């Protein structure tokens, strides 16, 4: 029987690529997008049914569940992919920045998961959360994004343990930098927020921030191709033995090391990497 996946954030990047891959492998993909133009574009593909889904809008999330129930569709895999990034010093951040990122990366993920869980319990399906290496190691000037992705790790661990007896598997994918639009979207936002920093914040962090931006530019140049995350996501979708977590990075060993080193050693290492 044809398997079915629901994926949030399919307009570009990781979400779009795994949607196309699954559709090619004859899965039926329900692809969440946020505007009509993306919806019309994805409609052209065989096996893809795009739906309007902003994960922060309750009516959209409710309509998504109604879409499955009204058509009596089963659901085998939910991929929580929709996400935003934000950078900058905590002292210069606004609570609005925190709320916007958490609304998508954390509350949107939780809301979509809990709303679709009845379908996944029925199929003994899977949830795959797109986290990040920023959910394993928190770099300076990445607090908002890292905090949201650390939350994704905690939610994935709790959910996996809550759902074990119901045979619903939970995986979390932890990519390092991947070549997608998230970087340019984040750049626009960090430039906007930089303009709102007061003089003392600029004086305190200016130089470090410039170095941080250069490090981000270098990371983008060396970023993974999106096909590498797609391969891993595909494994988590279809393998009889999906892993609980998948680090997808050129620096897997370094990330594992940073998690076990004493804090002061890890701090020196992270700060020397910039
Ligand atoms: P992307 O191309 O910008 O894709 C992000 C997707 O999320 C877009 O489809 C975007 O839709 C959607 N989205 C944003 N806000 C949303 C909302 N409120 N409701 C529903 N959808 C929303 O970036 P990406 O790199 O593929 O990101 C996908 C996931 O991978 C994110 O969770 C990100 O944190 C994670 N990740 C990315 C990297 C990386 O280096 N690229 C590394 C680690 C983890 P619009 O186009 O309409 O904004």
Task: Number of helices (H) and strands (E) in the chain: give both, helices first.
Answer: 11, 7
- Residue 145 catalytic? yes
Per residue in 32-68, pLDDT (tens digit) is 999 999 999 999 999 999 999 999 999 999 999 999 9
Atom of ligand 1 at shortest range from CA of 17: 26
Task: Give the closest residue (by CA) to ligand 1 atom 11.
Answer: 9
Per residue in 234-262, pLDDT (tens digit) is 999 999 999 999 999 999 999 999 999 99
Structure confidence at residue 192 (pLDDT)? 58
Structure confidence at residue 184 (pLDDT)? 81
Structure confidence at residue 187 (pLDDT)? 59
- Whether 274 has a pLDDT exceeding 70, the answer reads no
Per residue in 137-193, pLDDT (tens digit) is 999 999 999 999 999 999 999 999 999 999 999 999 999 999 999 988 755 565 556
Greatest C-alpha distance within the chain: 62
Backbone region of residue 43 per phi and psi (left: phi > 0; alpha: psi in -120 to 50; beta: other values): alpha
Ligand 1 pocket test: pick from 59, 83, 252 the residue with the most ligand atoms within 8 Å of its Cβ: 83
pTM, full prediction = 0.96
Ligand 1 pocket test: pick from 37, 136, 182, 225 the residue with the most ligand atoms within 8 Å of its Cβ: 182
Atom of ligand 1 at shortest range from CA of 9: 9
Domain residue spans of the chain:
4-272
Q: How far apart are CA 55 and CA 126, in angstroms?
A: 19
Structure confidence at residue 197 (pLDDT)? 86
Structure confidence at residue 145 (pLDDT)? 97
Choice among 45, 145, 205, 246 that is catalytic: 145
Backbone region of residue 13 per phi and psi (left: phi > 0; alpha: psi in -120 to 50; beta: other values): left
With respect to CATH, is domain 4-272 assigned 3.40.50.300? Answer: no
């Amino acid at each position: 029987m044809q398997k079915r996946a629901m994926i949030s954030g399919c307009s570009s990047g990781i979400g779009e690529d795994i949607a196309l891959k699954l559709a090619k492998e004859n899965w039926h993909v329900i692809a969440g997008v946020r505007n009509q133009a993306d919806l019309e574009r994805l409609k052209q593909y065989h096996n893809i049914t795009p739906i309007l889904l902003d994960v922060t809008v309750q009516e959209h999330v409710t309509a998504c569940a109604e879409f499955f129930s009204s058509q009596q569709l089963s659901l085998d895999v939910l991929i929580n992919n929709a996400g935003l990034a934000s950078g900058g010093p905590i002292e210069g951040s606004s609570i609005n920045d925190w709320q916007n990122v958490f609304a998508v990366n954390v509350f949107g993920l939780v809301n979509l998961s809990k709303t679709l869980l009845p379908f996944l319990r029925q199929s003994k399906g899977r949830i795959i959360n797109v986290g990040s290496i920023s959910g394993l190691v928190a770099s300076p000037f990445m607090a908002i994004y890292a905090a949201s992705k650390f939350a994704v790790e905690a939610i994935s661990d709790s959910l996996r343990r809550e759902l074990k007896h119901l045979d619903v598997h939970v995986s979390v994918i932890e990519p390092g930098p991947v070549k997608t639009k998230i970087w340019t979207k984040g750049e626009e936002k960090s430039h906007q927020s930089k303009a709102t920093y007061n003089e003392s914040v600029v004086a305190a962090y200016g130089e470090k921030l410039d170095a941080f931006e250069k490090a981000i530019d270098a990371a983008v140049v060396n970023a993974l191709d999106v096909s590498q995350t797609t391969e891993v996501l595909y494994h988590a979708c279809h393998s009889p033995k999906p892993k609980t977590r998948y680090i997808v990075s050129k620096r897997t060993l370094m990330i594992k090391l940073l998690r076990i080193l004493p804090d002061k050693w890890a701090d020196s290492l992270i700060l020397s990497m910039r």
